[in-house]
Chain A
């Protein structure tokens, strides 16, 4: 034992953690936004597509979901530039990876949501003369969103936690900041205590926010 907690050095370098947290959130928000677009488009396409398109989308989803994120991060950052003539920074590379990764998870969430929308609602839309596009926009998607919100919240929070993997390609997000302080000050226990608290508090704020949205959408029904 004989380890005395001393948070002074943590507070002195707190900008590393605070700036890191902001970057983590930024990475998460951008990636999730792109992921939601990928997920929505592919899910809507999937439920109305023929066998070939379905197989291709399912292939994308299954492949990404069964490979570790860290490997995909390495593949995009260190592997891809060796075969295509592209140059990108580490944060861009990570956002690209997490977008494709979250897209695969979100296709699954949205697809099961779309399939859970009661048939009668779509028929009702048809009966009052809505075009297929209007039925999708005004009937199917809103109903699907209500059904998927709980699963969506969990996926978002889990993706936010996944931004910690960006530290392996030296993106200066929260985990990277924690490691920096770990190696430069050796206040190891303190830095991870503070970092853990920061992840927890952010995650729970996100959770409560999303639960609020869920409750609202249920009340609106």
Chain B
């Protein structure tokens, strides 16, 4: 049994690399899209606000799995052919973007109005107000939930296995298909996911404490 698992380790490592790559892509892409749309939600004109609100409330209301099948099977039907890898990454990114929008809205909303009024009074432009006054303060509110959300991205990435992408989850299933050692391999897989996510949540707790001394 141990021999078989050791033999499978390089294969599992490849899958693990895919898991990390998917998670990284999702986290980075959703951060960019989420911050932009989040600023649109808070400061944008009415139609944009409504569009972002509807987008966020819709996406967060459906299971990621359904969203993924929708993107993967649905887009080719309307003539958009994405490889399964990018279909999976897009679906996960859409979901994460909606979450990042909400973190940003919460963080920016927690900054007292007086801050941005004072910045306006000394003649800062909109972009200067954001970069020098609002974002530096909102950052510490944004960071802890966002890092917590990173662990969700790593966990969510396991769903890409359902589109036939050989991530850690799929690699484990394939090794089990050959060795029939279901329990040891699932436990090994659980421990790997746990190690990554637990390290991330420890980091988030540390950051939370690091920024806790700043008072309103």
Contacts and interface: CB of A to CB of B under 8 A. Distances in A.
Interface of A: 1-3, 62-63, 65-72, 74-75, 78-80, 82-83, 161-165, 167-168, 175, 178-179, 182, 188-189, 192, 195-196, 199-200, 203-204
Contact of A165 (B62, B65, B183, B197): B65
**Chain A binding site: helix, strand, loop or mixed by DSSP?**
helix
Contacts, number: 113
Contacts of A62: 194, 198, 201
Given A71-B186, A161-B63, A199-B63, A66 B201 contact: yes
Nearest to B78: A3
B61 to A, nearest CB: 4
Given A199-B62, A203-B61, A192 B73 contact: yes
Contacts of A70: 158-159, 161-162, 169
Interface of B: 58, 61-67, 69-70, 73-74, 77-79, 151, 155-159, 161-162, 169, 172-173, 176, 180, 182-183, 185-187, 189-190, 193-194, 197-198, 201
Contact of B66 (A66, A69, A196): A196
Nearest to B181: A82
A164 B63 contact: yes
Give me the 8 closest cross-chain CB pairs, A-B, nearest first: A164-B63, A66-B197, A68-B158, A75-B186, A192-B70, A68-B155, A79-B183, A79-B182
B182 A68 contact: no
Contacts of B189: 71
